[in-house]
Amino acid sequence: MIDKKKVAIIGGGPGGLTLARLLLQKGIDVKVYERDFNRDVRSQGATLDLHENSGLKAIKAADLFHEFKRAYRPGAEKGRVVDKMGNILFDEHEKETTEIDFDSPNARPEIDRSDLRNLLLNSLSPDIVVWNSQFVHMTPAGAQWAIEFRNGATVLADIVIGADGGNSKVRPFVTPIQPYYAGITILQGNVGNAKMKAPRINELLQGGKIYVHNAGKYLHISAKGDSSIDFYISIKIDGARANNSGINFSDSTQMRQWFKTAFADWGGIWFELFENTDLPVLIRPQYSIPLDQTWEAKSNLTLLGDAAHIMAPSGEGVNLAMLDALELSECLTNEYFKDTQTAIAAYETVMRERAAQEAATSFEMVEWMHADDAQDRIVEFFKRTTA
């Protein structure tokens, strides 16, 4: 059905790269157009865990399982629930580390985002990803799309896949439905050389994660394989404040003053993060799809990952994107479907239903993670799941 068609994937994140790998395995002519200047220009954020029935399933289908097992970080999934003064309330490190059963539905191996991206990039020949290609616009050109990029290039493609994240520029060509503010804003920072700059927190992490819930604030900290620490602070605030905080988080004086005020009653250990974080600290208002979103399938255009179904963090984002890639690749190369529109419709129907369920779950998580009893609830959660 698409043997002689050119497929353009807009966006070189985990979803887009996974789709490229899977289509190339089946001999499809595919290119990935990525706005980054090169693969090293931007930090890829904290660690993530892949799940057996989604992210790991896609890795196995892409014949990259052995590479993944070499790149994942054993023990990085272990966490500590800590109170605002730095006291440990629950400690997964007390449990002996055992070899992960990758075939178990409970498998959650951790990998740094940068390592996952490199694993996927290394599986593609160098000409597949076209860097410095920021999508600007596209117009119909007969049965094809003429895609314009900020660098002045224009390319023709028979099928376009929008894998360009929550601020997708491809999404409006598929649907006018816009995501809406999910009620929380995340401040994200990174501390390099954590052993020197944040020694107490680095020791507390033990190569894993820290979870702190207090008075509507949620602090999540992750150790990374490059010796840095990633952290984010999640706060429930209204949309106007989220988009206009009045604080310049690129200015060290303003940023530190905000932290000292917002965390005045927290223990001094956390200021190792706030005093030593790289600038700027990123302000990320969180958005979500309407749970009932739908649209009519097109014959030569679709979406995957956050471009299709952005939602508040639930631990499923990358996993969903990679599962989207797997299912889309299977639909587009399945001889059962009479044409590409039928194949895309089948993919999108399942994708939207799954996304709506996960988005509903993400809203539930937002509520309890910022509730007054969140600290007690997460301790009980860990006790149940690790018993």
Q: Are strands 110-112 and 129-130 parallel, antiparallel or unpaired?
A: unpaired
CATH number at residue 200: 3.30.9.30
Q: Do the beta carbons of residue 90 and residue 99 sit within 8 Å?
A: no
Q: Are 357 and 305 part of one and the same domain? A: yes
pLDDT single digits (tens) 246-296: 777 778 888 888 888 989 999 999 999 989 998 888 888 999 999 999 999
Q: 278 among the known binding-site residues?
A: no
Whether this model's pTM surpasses 0.85? yes
Token pair 């290039």 in the structure block, residue:
153
Q: 70 among the known binding-site residues?
A: no
Q: 384 among the known binding-site residues?
A: no
- Find the mean pLDDT for residues 104-115: 85
Question: What is the end-to-end Cα distance of the chain in Å, rounded?
Answer: 50
**Which of the two residues, 335 and 249, has the higher pLDDT score?**
335
**How far is the CA of 130 from the CAs of 31, 133, 354, in angstroms?**
7, 6, 31
Above pLDDT 90, what percent of the chain? Answer: 75
Q: Are 42 and 154 part of one and the same domain? A: yes
358 phi-psi bin (left φ>0, alpha ψ -120 to 50, beta other): alpha
Q: 265-286 in b/e burial notation, b at 16+ Cβ within 10 A?
A: ebeebbbbbbebbeeebeebbb
Q: Are 27 and 122 part of one and the same domain? A: yes
Q: Are 274 and 301 part of one and the same domain? A: no
Q: Are 274 and 304 part of one and the same domain? A: no
Among 241, 263, 288, which residue terminates a domain?
288
Q: Are 157 and 205 part of one and the same domain? A: no
Q: Are 250 and 293 part of one and the same domain? A: no
Domain, as residue range, for 265 = 180-288
Q: 49 among the known binding-site residues?
A: yes
Q: Do the beta carbons of residue 144 and residue 157 sit within 8 Å?
A: yes
- Alpha helix stretches (DSSP H) within 231-290: 239-243, 252-262, 271-276
Give the total number of structural domains in the chain.
Answer: 2
Least confident range of 93-102, 122-131, 185-194, 207-216:
93-102
Phi and psi torsions of 253, nearest 5°: -65, -50
Structural tokens at position 137:
């616009």
pLDDT single digits (tens) 57-97: 999 999 999 999 999 998 888 999 999 999 999 998 887 76
- Complete edge-to-edge strand list for the sheet that includes strand 29-33: 129-130, 29-33, 6-10, 159-162, 301-303
